Chain A
Amino acid sequence: MRSTDAIRRLLALVLGCATLVPALAQQSRDELAKSLPPTNLTSDDVQVGASMIGVAPGFANAKVADNPGAPGATAVGERTCIACHRLESEHFTHTFHALGLHAASKADASIPVCETCHGPGSAHAKDPGAKGLIIGYTKDSGTPIETQTKTCLACHAGGPRDRWLGSVHQRNGLSCTDCHNPMAKFSAEGLMARASINDTCAQCHRDVRLQFNRRSHMPLPEGQMSCDDCHNPHGSVTNPLLKTNSVNETCYQCHAEKRGPFLFEHAPVRESCLNCHTPHGSNQQTLLVTPLPFLCQQCHSGLRHPNDLHTPGSLGNGAHPDERAMGRACVTCHANIHGSNAPSGPKFHE
C-alpha cells in the first residue's frame, strides 16, 4: 500500500474525530456563557442570553471604526447601508467577513457589520458625493491611507502583520486594499484583489512574476505555490520580507535536505542559497545565476583544473570534449555541492 493511502485513511479518521471538537467546544461555550459575566465590552446594553451560542471571540470586539474625516457622524446600521449599496452587499454576503459579522451581529446587536470597517455612516448617507465622510478603501475615496490601514489593523493586528509599521510596503504608501478586497470573493483564498495571490503581487511586481516563466523555476506559474510561501508582504524581520529569519531558513521549508549541517560544508551555501541561485527564475538549469563552469570560477582559481578558460572546443561537439564544461560540468564530479556528509567528501565528490 502506498504511504499516501495509509495517510489518507488516517486523515479520514482524524477528520472524523475532529468533527467532534466543535461539538465539544460548543457545549463548553454555552456553559461558559451562563456561568461567567458577559464579556462583550463594546457597549453597555449587553444582551445576555440573546443567543445560546454567543459572539465568536474574533468578532467580539468589533465596533464602529473611527473616521477622523467625519467627526460628528453616528452609526446608521447595515440595513441603511444596504438600501443604496444592495449589489455590493450581495457580493459581500458570500465572503468570510460577512459570515462572521452577520453571525456576531445576530448574537449581539451592538456589533456593527458594514460600519466595522467603513466607520459611522450618518454623514455619508446625507452627502454621499463628499469624499472622506465614510471610510473608503479605493482610489479617490478621500480616506487617507493611514486611516484605511489603521481600521483593518484594529481587528487584524499582530500575527503576520506584526511588523507592518515600518515595513517597505507601508513606507511606500500601500493600503491593505492594494492587495485585498474583502467585498467579494475574488480569489479562492485570502480575500485578494485578484483571482490569486500571485496575480495580486504581479500587479506591481510583474517583472518578478515573469521571471517565473523562464526555463528553470519553482512551480508558481503552475499554481502549486505562491509568493506568500516565501514572503510575508505585511512586514517581517528581514529586508526581502521573508517569512523566516533568513534566506536559507526560507528555502529549507521545502528543501529540508539541504539543511544539514553537513560534515563538510560549502561556505557560500551555508551563507546564502542566493550566492548561486536566483529564486524567481533562471535561464540556466536549476535556477543558477550563471552557467557552469563560470559560476564556480567566480570563486575558484585553485591550481590544476578549476581555473582554465573553456571555449566551445570543450563541449560535447568540440575538438576536446571536456567534462568540466559538458552536461552538468563541475557538479558531475562535485555532485554533493551543497555539502557532503561523507567522510571522503571534503570536495563534495561523495
Chain B
Amino acid sequence: MRTPRLLRPLPLAAAIAAVAANARADSGVGVDTWRANKLDPTAGATVEGCDARGTSWLEAGGHRTPTGNLYACPPPSPATADHGAWTTSGILSVGAVATGGDDGNALWNRYVDWDGGIVLALLAFEAERAADGSYASVRASRISDDDEYYQAVFGRAGSYKVQAFLRDMPNLVTNTAKPIWNGVGTNHLTLPAGYAAGASTPDAIAGLSAATPERTLGVTREKQGLGFSVYLTPQWTAYANATDEQRHGARPFGGPFFFNFPFPDNGGVLETVKPIDDSTVNLSGGFRYAGTTWRMEFGYSGSFYRDRYTRYTYEMPFALAPLVPGAVSAPLTTGQFATEPDNDWHNLKAAFTRKLPLNGELSITASGGRMSQDDTLIPPVACAGVFGIGLDGNLQTGPQNPYLYDCANWNTPDALSRRSADMRIDTSLLDARMVLQPGADLTLRGGLRHEREDYRNVYLAYNPLTGQYGYVSENGSQGSVVPGESGIWDPTDPSAITRIRSLPLDMQTTEANIGADWKVGARDTLGATLAFSRYEPNHRERGTVDDGSIKLSWTNRALDWLTLRANYTYLHQDGDRYDYDPYDFTYSISLPGFVAPPNGVPAHTVDALRKYDVASRSEHKLDLMATFMPRDDMTVSASLRGDFNDYDADLGRKGYDTLGATVQWEWQPAPGSNASVYYAYDRSKLRMANINEINDGGSNPSIGGNTYVDIGRWWADDTQRNHNAGVVLAHAFGRVRLDASWNYLHARGTTDYRFASPLALAWADTVIGDGAGGGAFPAMTYRVNSFSVGLHIPLHERVALRVFDLYERGRISDWHYLGFATTHAIDHRVYTDGGPQGYDANLVGVLLDVRL
C-alpha cells in the first residue's frame, strides 16, 4: 500500500519541528505562558466588563469553585460580524497616557516604560470559522518602544495551532547611576579625558563622580517566538517551539583592585558598569501519546546562550601603594571581567505511564542532559608592563624582585593551561512513581527518584610560559600591595597558598517516598507521606546528606460553608561527618612541591561553621487554608503558613523562621459589582552566628586555639516584617463602570547584632568598652501606597471611553546606600549606583475602545 498522502510530508514536518523555536509553551514545558503589560496585566480580559444578565436564567448569582471561591463574572458576548464563513470580533483600544511627579524613578518604572504619549492599549482581533473550528487571532499592546508585545495565533480547534509572538520587556535597574567611565554599555570603560588611569587622586575622582549627571541603567529583553502544536492522530500530538531573546543594556557591577578599608588611599573598589548584550535561543519539541492504557512523552529541549562579549575591561583611576616601606607598586591601569560564557544545553526526556489494575498508574521518566561551554578563556590579567611589587624600589623583574612579574608572561592566552574552557556537566534523571487506588476511599502512592550531575572536566591554573601555578589576584593589585600575594605559586616560593584548580561539584540524589490518602467519610480526607532523600555531593563538606520527612494533610468539607485544608511537614536533615575543609585539592597545598609556611597552613575556616545547605537541621512546616462562605455572594478566605527551621550549627545559619497570615473578604452582589478587601502579615527571622579571628595567620581551625577564640563571636538576626493591605472595588452605575483599588505594602527589615567583645567587629572603635555589646542597623523599609481609579463610559454601541489614574507613593530606605546622597566616591571606593529612592508619581490615561 502506498504511503498515505498525509504521512509523506512527515519528514519535512519533523524537520520543521526540529528547527522551530520556542514560542509560547504550555504548562508542562517552557516559559512565555503569559503576555501582557502593566497597563493591563489581564491582557484585555476585563475590558468588556461583566454580562449584566448574569450567569444563568435559572438562578441568581454566580457559582463557586469546588473549594468555595466565587467565579468571576462572565463577560458579555462579543459583538460579532460575519464575513462569509468567518465570524470576527475584536476590540481596538488606543489613547494617550501622561506621567507626572517622580516619573523617572526606577521603582516606579520597574518593568514598564510609560514614555508618555500615544499608546496602543490593546488590539485584540479574533476570527472563527464554525464550520470546521478554524480560528485566527491577533493580540497586541504597545506602551512604548521598549514595552510592547504582538502575537498572532491561528489554527484549527483539535487539530493544530501555530503561534508567533514578539515582545519587548524593559527592566530599569536604577535611576541614580553616576558612572564615572565613558563607554557605558560597551565592553571597554575608560576614564574621561583629564583623569589618568592609575594616577588620579581620590579627590579628583570624587569631583568627577559628583559632576557626573544621574542616569538610568537597565536592560531590555526583546524576544521573538514561533511555535506550533498539532494532533497527528487523536492519541499522538507533536509540538515544537523556538524563541530568541536578546538582552541589551547595562547594569551596575563591580571591580576589585584590593581592599581600601584597611589601607587608606590604597586599593580600589570600583562599581563599574557591565554591558549586557547577549541572546538566548531556546528550542523545545516533542511528541506526546495519550491512549487508554499508555501515555508517553518524548521531548527535547535545547538552550543556546551567546554573549556578544567574552570580557569587558575598565580603567582603574587610582594608584596603589605597597605595604612594605621602600618598595614600589606596579602601575596598574586596567581591570577585566570575563562575561558569562556562551553555553549550550541539550536535554532529552522520555516519560512512560501505564495504567495499572486497582485503578492505578505507573510512571517512569528518564531524562538526560548536557550543559557545556567552550568559550575562549581570557588571559589571567589585562595589564601592560609589570604587576606586583618591586621590593628594591624599582620595577625591574628578576631574582631581586621575586614578587614582580612581567605582564607579557600573563596577559596572553599563552599563559593558560588551555585556550578554551571546555567545561561540561552531564545531568541525568530517573523518576518512577506508582499510584494505586484499591478502593474508592484509599489511594496509595510511592516514588523513587535518582538524579546525577557529572562534571566532565577540571581546570588547572598553570602557566606554561613560566611554569608557575595559580592566577593573578584582583587584576594584579593584591600582589602589588602585599608582597607575595599575587596568587601565584612558584616552585622556588613553595609556601604560597593559592587556588590552582577548579572545583568539580558532581552530585547525585536518591529519593524515595511512600504515602497514602484515605477518605474518611464523605467530608474528610487524610493523607500521610513519608519521604527520604539522600544527597551525595562531591567535594563538599559532607559526602552524604540525608533528609527524612513526614507530611500529614487533612482536607475537610464537613460544613457547607467551610472548606479547610491543613498540611504539616516535619523534616529532619542529617549527614555524615562534617569536614570543614575538603578543598585542599583545589589549592597549591596539594602540589607536590608545596612546603607549609613556618607557622603552618592558615586555617581555611573555623571548623564549627556549618554551611546551611548541608548542615543538619529540623524543620516544621505548617499550612492552613480556610475558605468560608458566609453568604451566597460572599467569600472569606484565610491562610496561615509557617516554616520553622532550626539548624544544628554553632556558627553559620542557626535558624530561619517564616510565618505568614492572610485574610481576604470578597463580595459579588451583582454582575459588574464586586468588592474585596485583604490583609496579609508576613514575618521572617533569620538567625546566624559567626566568629572573627584574633590571628589572621593562625593554623588552628578550632575555637579556643591560636586563631579563633570565644571573645571573637558575634550573632546577627535579620527580621523582616511585611504588612500588605488592599481594597478593590468595581461597580456599574447604569452603563458606566467604575473601578478603584488601593494597595498598601509596608515592609520593614531590621538587622540586629550582638558580639562577645569588640574583637568581633570590623571596627572596634565604633563601640565603647571592651565587653559584650550589641546594636542594630537602621531599619530597611519599603512602603508603597498605590491608588488607582478608572471609569468606563460607553459613548455609543461600539465605542467606549476609558479614563484612569494611577497614583503611587513609594518610600524606601536601604542602609547600604546611606551616605550616597552626599557622594558616590569615598577614598578609593567609587560607586555607580546611588541606590533606590522614594517617589511620588502619577499616571493618567485616556483610552478609546472601539469594537471591531
Q: Are A265 and B502 within 8 A (Cβ)? A: yes
Q: Does A46 contact B (CB under 8 A)?
A: no
18 further A-B contacts with Cβ under 8 Å, apart from A58-B159, A86-B57, A317-B822, are: A59-B157, A87-B54, A93-B77, A102-B133, A162-B295, A186-B71, A196-B43, A204-B637, A222-B112, A223-B34, A256-B303, A263-B423, A264-B459, A316-B826, A320-B261, A321-B827, A346-B471, A350-B378
Q: Which of B124-132, B188-196, B324-332, B401-409 contacts A (4 or more CB under 8 A)?
A: B124-132
| 10 residue pairs A–B, Cβ–Cβ below 8 Å | A58-B157, A106-B131, A165-B361, A174-B66, A207-B639, A260-B425, A291-B751, A311-B761, A342-B311, A350-B378
Residues of A within 8 A of B691 (CB): 301, 307
* Least Cβ–Cβ distance between B263 and chain A, in angstroms: 11
Q: Scan residues 135-170 of chain A and give those whose CB is less than 8 A from a CB of chain B.
A: 137-141, 145-146, 148, 157-163, 165-166
Residues of B within 8 A of A285 (CB): 814, 816
Q: Are A318 and B252 within 8 A (Cβ)? A: no
Instruction: Kindly state the separation between the CA atoms of A15 and B23 in the bound complex, as whole angstroms.
Output: 13
Q: Are A56 and B159 within 8 A (Cβ)? A: yes
Q: Scan residues 784-838 of chain B and give those whose CB is less than 8 A from a CB of chain A.
A: 784, 812, 814-820, 822, 826-827, 829, 831, 833, 835-836
Instruction: Kindly state the separation between the CA atoms of A342 and B473 in the bound complex, as whole angstroms.
Output: 11
Q: Are A94 and B33 within 8 A (Cβ)? A: no
Residues of A within 8 A of B40 (CB): 223
Q: Are B34 and A197 within 8 A (Cβ)? A: yes
Which of B36, B440, B686 is close to A223, meaning CB atoms less than 8 Å apart? B36
Which of A199, A237, A243, A275 is close to B431, meaning CB atoms less than 8 Å apart? A237
Residues of A within 8 A of B819 (CB): 315-318, 321, 326
Which B residue's beta carbon lies closest to that of A218? B111
Q: Does A131 contact B (CB under 8 A)?
A: no
Which A residue's beta carbon lies closest to that of B461? A343
Q: Are A350 and B33 within 8 A (Cβ)? A: no
Q: Does B842 contact A (CB under 8 A)?
A: no
Instruction: Kindly state the separation between the CA atoms of A314 and B396 in the bound complex, as whole angstroms.
Output: 39
Residues of B within 8 A of A252 (CB): 303, 345
Q: Does B260 contact A (CB under 8 A)?
A: yes
A161-192 near B? 1/0 per residue, CB < 8 Å: 11101100001111101110101111111100
Q: Scan residues 89-126 of chain A and give those whose CB is less than 8 A from a CB of chain B.
A: 90-91, 93-94, 96, 99-100, 102-104, 106-107
Q: Are A99 and B130 within 8 A (Cβ)? A: yes
Q: Are B639 and A53 within 8 A (Cβ)? A: no
Q: Does A79 contact B (CB under 8 A)?
A: no
Known contacts A196-B43, A310-B762: does B722 contact A214 (CB below 8 Å)? yes
Q: Does B641 contact A (CB under 8 A)?
A: yes
Residues of A within 8 A of B716 (CB): 294, 297, 309
Q: Does B389 contact A (CB under 8 A)?
A: no
Q: Are B63 and A332 within 8 A (Cβ)? A: no
Instruction: Kindly state the separation between the CA atoms of A51 and B690 in the bound complex, as whole angstroms.
Output: 77
Residues of B within 8 A of A29 (CB): 6
* Least Cβ–Cβ distance between B826 and chain A, in angstroms: 5
Q: Does B321 contact A (CB under 8 A)?
A: no
What DSSP secondary structure best describes chain A's contact surface?
loop
Which B residue's beta carbon lies closest to that of A241? B27
* Least Cβ–Cβ distance between A86 and chain B, in angstroms: 6
A260-285 near B? 1/0 per residue, CB < 8 Å: 11111101101110010000000111
A207-220 near B? 1/0 per residue, CB < 8 Å: 10011011100010
Q: Does A72 contact B (CB under 8 A)?
A: no
Q: Are A91 and B455 within 8 A (Cβ)? A: no
Q: Does B181 contact A (CB under 8 A)?
A: no
Q: Are B338 and A99 within 8 A (Cβ)? A: no
Q: Are B162 and A283 within 8 A (Cβ)? A: no
Instruction: Kindly state the separation between the CA atoms of A141 and B664 in the bound complex, as whole angstroms.
Output: 25
Q: Does A71 contact B (CB under 8 A)?
A: no
Q: Are B168 and A332 within 8 A (Cβ)? A: no
Which A residue's beta carbon lies closest to that of B338? A342
Q: Does A48 contact B (CB under 8 A)?
A: no
Q: Which of B207-215, B741-749, B843-851 contacts A (4 or more CB under 8 A)?
A: B741-749
Q: Are B833 and A327 within 8 A (Cβ)? A: yes
Known contacts A207-B662, A317-B818: does B461 contact A88 (CB below 8 Å)? no
Q: Scan residues 691-713 of chain B and give those whose CB is less than 8 A from a CB of chain A.
A: 691-693, 696-698, 707
Instruction: Kindly state the separation between the CA atoms of A195 and B260 in the bound complex, as whole angstroms.
Output: 54
Which B residue's beta carbon lies closest to that of A331? B254
Instruction: Kindly state the separation between the CA atoms of A103 and B682 in the bound complex, as whole angstroms.
Output: 50
Q: Does B398 contact A (CB under 8 A)?
A: no
Instruction: Kindly state the separation between the CA atoms of A142 and B515 in the bound complex, as whole angstroms.
Output: 28
Q: Are B639 and A204 within 8 A (Cβ)? A: yes
Which of A148, A312, A329, A346 is close to B777, meaning CB atoms less than 8 Å apart? A312
Instruction: Kindly state the separation between the CA atoms of A160 and B256 in the bound complex, as whole angstroms.
Output: 47
* Least Cβ–Cβ distance between B92 and chain A, in angstroms: 16
Which of B57, B133, B641 is close to A104, meaning CB atoms less than 8 Å apart? B133
Which A residue's beta carbon lies closest to that of B310? A341
Q: Are B375 and A341 within 8 A (Cβ)? A: yes
Instruction: Kindly state the separation between the CA atoms of A225 and B46 in the bound complex, as whole angstroms.
Output: 18
Q: Are A157 and B231 within 8 A (Cβ)? A: no
Q: Does A50 contact B (CB under 8 A)?
A: no
Residues of A within 8 A of B487 (CB): 344
Q: Are A309 and B753 within 8 A (Cβ)? A: yes
Q: Which of B94-102, B589-597, B608-616 contacts A (4 or more CB under 8 A)?
A: B608-616
Q: Are B338 and A345 within 8 A (Cβ)? A: yes
Which of B133, B423, B696, B763 is close to A99, meaning CB atoms less than 8 Å apart? B133
Q: Are B27 and A57 within 8 A (Cβ)? A: no
Residues of B within 8 A of A261 (CB): 343, 371-373, 423-425, 455
* Least Cβ–Cβ distance between A223 and chain B, in angstroms: 3
Residues of A within 8 A of B305 (CB): 256-257, 259
Residues of B within 8 A of A270 (CB): 453, 505
- Could you say which of A39, A203, A254 has the most chain B C-beta atoms within 10 Å of its C-beta? A203
Known contacts A297-B688, A321-B827: does B433 contact A214 (CB below 8 Å)? no
Which of B5, B303, B527, B817 is close to A316, meaning CB atoms less than 8 Å apart? B817
* Least Cβ–Cβ distance between B798 and chain A, in angstroms: 17
Residues of B within 8 A of A96 (CB): 157
Which of A138, A195, A229, A256 is close to B32, meaning CB atoms less than 8 Å apart? A229
Q: Are A140 and B761 within 8 A (Cβ)? A: no
Q: Does B578 contact A (CB under 8 A)?
A: no
Which of B537, B651, B833 is close to A301, meaning CB atoms less than 8 Å apart? B651
Which B residue's beta carbon lies closest to that of A333? B256
* Least Cβ–Cβ distance between B587 and chain A, in angstroms: 9
Q: Does B544 contact A (CB under 8 A)?
A: no
Known contacts A224-B111, A254-B31: does B154 contact A19 (CB below 8 Å)? yes
Known contacts A265-B502, A299-B652: does B537 contact A271 (CB below 8 Å)? yes
B327-346 near A? 1/0 per residue, CB < 8 Å: 00000000111111101010
A5-45 near B? 1/0 per residue, CB < 8 Å: 00110010011001101101100110110011001000000
B268-291 near A? 1/0 per residue, CB < 8 Å: 011100100010101000001110
Q: Are A183 and B602 within 8 A (Cβ)? A: no
Residues of B within 8 A of A161 (CB): 28
Instruction: Kindly state the separation between the CA atoms of A155 and B163 in the bound complex, as whole angstroms.
Output: 22
Known contacts A183-B74, A252-B303: does B341 contact A196 (CB below 8 Å)? no
Q: Scan residues 1-49 of chain B and give those whose CB is less than 8 A from a CB of chain A.
A: 4-6, 9, 26-38, 40-46
Known contacts A103-B130, A175-B65, A206-B662: does B423 contact A260 (CB below 8 Å)? yes
Which of A18, A39, A91 is close to B162, meaning CB atoms less than 8 Å apart? A18
Q: Does B64 contact A (CB under 8 A)?
A: yes
